[in-house]
């Protein structure tokens, strides 16, 4: 039953992320090539959702709501393979449900906060997403490595996600989360769906790299 509760929490958290954060991008008209109020509102929305969910479901599932975070936890041996699979399924299901609910409210005309290739280049977008995800997940691994950071972890993680969005929106719209990208792309179709593989694969690689690098840098592990 405890595992089921974790998966339900991950479903809810990812649903909220897509509905509110991707919804903010859609209704404010945030575009990758326009630096305006909508741009920063979207970056802030993603960060605030993480803060809200961290203090809501963090004590249940750890508030991954992101396959890139879950795979980093798996590599770091902080998550079992069974829970990893459960988390991934719940996250993608939550993202799909969130995108479906968002489309039901606003339709597809304003978009659903999908990602896009930077200058039409899958290669450049792939590299950008790896870097953005690496920074985001590295911060998560660092701040959650000490129990005493528990009271501020959600704020730090939320601010870090805001940071990577402030830079990343200009290039790809910022994914750093395969589930967040897949849900909206599934319903938008077209170019968003055809390139979504970039926003699934690159964040996963970024998450794995962050786990490996943090494992190397962690002084406690290095001493063992």
The CATH number of the domain holding residue 118 is: 1.20.1080.10
Q: What is the pLDDT of residue 187?
A: 97
> Which tokens is 70 given?
């879950």
Contacts of 150 (CB under 8 A, 6+ apart): none
pLDDT of 222 above 80 = no
pLDDT tens digits for range 54-96: 999 999 999 999 999 999 999 999 999 999 999 999 999 999 9
Residue 146: per-residue pLDDT:
86
- pLDDT at position 223: 52
Query: Domain tally for the chain?
Result: 1
pLDDT of residue 33: 84
Count helices and strands in the chain by DSSP H and E runs? 11, 0
Backbone angles phi, psi at 165, to 5 degrees: -75, -35
pLDDT score of 221 = 53
At residue 118, the 3 state secondary structure works out as strand
Q: Does residue 172 contact residue 206 with C-beta atoms inside 8 Å?
A: no
* 20 CB-near residues (< 8 Å, 6+ apart): 45, 49
Q: pLDDT value at position 25?
A: 97
* Containing structural domain, residue 202: 2-223
> Max Cα separation, the chain?
56
Q: What is the pLDDT of residues 178-218, one digit of tens each?
A: 999 999 999 999 999 999 999 999 999 999 999 999 999 98
Provide the pLDDT confidence category of residue 219 given band limits of 50, 70 and 90.
low
The predicted structure's pLDDT at residue 148: 85
What secondary structure letter does DSSP report for 173? S
Q: Distance (Å, rounded) from C-alpha 120 to C-alpha 106? A: 27
């Amino acid at each position: 039953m405890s595992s089921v509760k974790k998966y339900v929490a991950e479903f809810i958290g990812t649903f909220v992320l897509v509905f509110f954060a991707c919804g903010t991008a859609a209704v404010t008209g945030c575009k990758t090539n326009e630096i305006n109020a909508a741009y920063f509102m979207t970056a802030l929305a993603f960060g605030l959702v993480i803060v809200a969910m961290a203090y809501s479901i963090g004590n249940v599932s750890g508030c991954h709501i992101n396959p890139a975070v879950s795979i980093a936890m798996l590599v770091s041996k902080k998550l079992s393979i069974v829970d990893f699979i459960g988390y991934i399924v719940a996250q993608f299901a939550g993202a799909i449900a969130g995108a479906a609910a968002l489309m039901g409210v606003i339709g597809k005309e304003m978009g659903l906060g999908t990602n896009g290739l930077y200058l039409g280049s899958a290669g450049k977008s792939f590299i950008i997403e790896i870097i953005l995800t690496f920074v985001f997940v590295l911060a998560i691994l660092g701040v959650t490595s000490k129990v005493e950071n528990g009271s501020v972890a959600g704020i730090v993680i939320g601010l870090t996600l805001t940071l990577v969005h402030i830079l990343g929106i200009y290039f790809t719209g910022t994914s750093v989360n395969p589930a967040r990208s897949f849900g909206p792309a599934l319903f938008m179709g077209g170019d968003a769906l055809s390139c979504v593989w970039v926003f699934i694969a690159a964040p996963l690689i970024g998450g794995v790299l962050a786990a490996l690098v943090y494992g190397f840098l962690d002084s406690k592990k290095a001493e063992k």
